[in-house]
Amino acid sequence: LETVRYFAQIDHPNLVTIEDMGVVMGVPYLIMGYAGEQTLSRRLARGPLGTEEALRTFTQACRGVLALHDRRLVHFDLKPSNIFLKGEVARVGDYGLSKLLTDGRMTLSFGRGTPQYMAPEMLRSRADHRADLYSLGVILFESLTGRAPYASSDGGTLVLREDDSPPDFPADFPERLRPVVTRCLRLDPADRYQDVG
């Protein structure tokens, strides 16, 4: 509850709000604002998005993440199932892995997360807000293609990238978005955009 208290102070149109929290008979609870049952993950199960819809959803997700980063909060588990869609509004939710950054960089230790959306440095338990930029790049690529940018060689979900090559873009991938995705997906956080803005 202490960690979530920081989120409860944020009221942003692209974040799932926390309406109330407390403890009843020793059990902590949260009451979240209703963001709808539709998620980007469910929407992508029907196929890739058109460029306009993908960019609208992506931009709103970025605005929500930026609101977190402005308060030194990092999500660390961005993925399509954590982006809720209601009408034309996208909201980022599920703050289960989020951390408050107190010194700019921090060591992470966690038992969950979704490997194909995780920045490579998270596998080394060392990450900052730029890990969210990596995840956003994966989400944008998947929104437009219906698949993850990098596939694991052994059929598992963990992708260990050996080099910094960009993903294999389909021929119809929007030309102006290729450099955006490529930069978000750089192995070294220093080579990515340094902030969501």
DSSP string of the chain?
-HHHHHHHT---TTB--EEEEEEETTEEEEEEPP--SEEHHHHHTT-PPPHHHHHHHHHHHHHHHHHHHTTTEE-S---GGGEEEETTEEEE---TT-EE-SSS-EE---S---GGGS-GGGGGTEE-THHHHHHHHHHHHHHHHSS-SS--TTSSS-----S-PPP---TTS-GGGHHHHHHHT-SSGGGS-SS--
Query: Residue 100: which pLDDT band, with cuts at 50, 70 and 90?
Result: low
Whether 94 shows a pLDDT value over 90: the answer reads no
Q: Give mean pLDDT, residues 114-124.
A: 78
Active-site annotation, residues: 77
Top pLDDT among 43 and 159 is at: 43
Whether 139 shows a pLDDT value over 60: the answer reads yes
Query: Residue 10: which pLDDT band, with cuts at 50, 70 and 90?
Result: confident
Predicted confidence at residue 113, as pLDDT, reads 57
Q: Give mean pLDDT, residues 43-72.
A: 96
3-12, 63-72, 147-156, 160-169, range with the lowest pLDDT: 147-156
Q: Give mean pLDDT, residues 82-100.
A: 84
Predicted confidence at residue 111, as pLDDT, reads 46
Predicted confidence at residue 107, as pLDDT, reads 47
CA–CA separation, 110 and 155 (whole Å):
23
Q: For residue 86, which phi and psi values (nearest 5 degrees)?
A: -140, 105
Q: Give mean pLDDT, residues 91-106.
A: 66
pTM, to two decimals: 0.86
Query: Residue 110: which pLDDT band, with cuts at 50, 70 and 90?
Result: very low
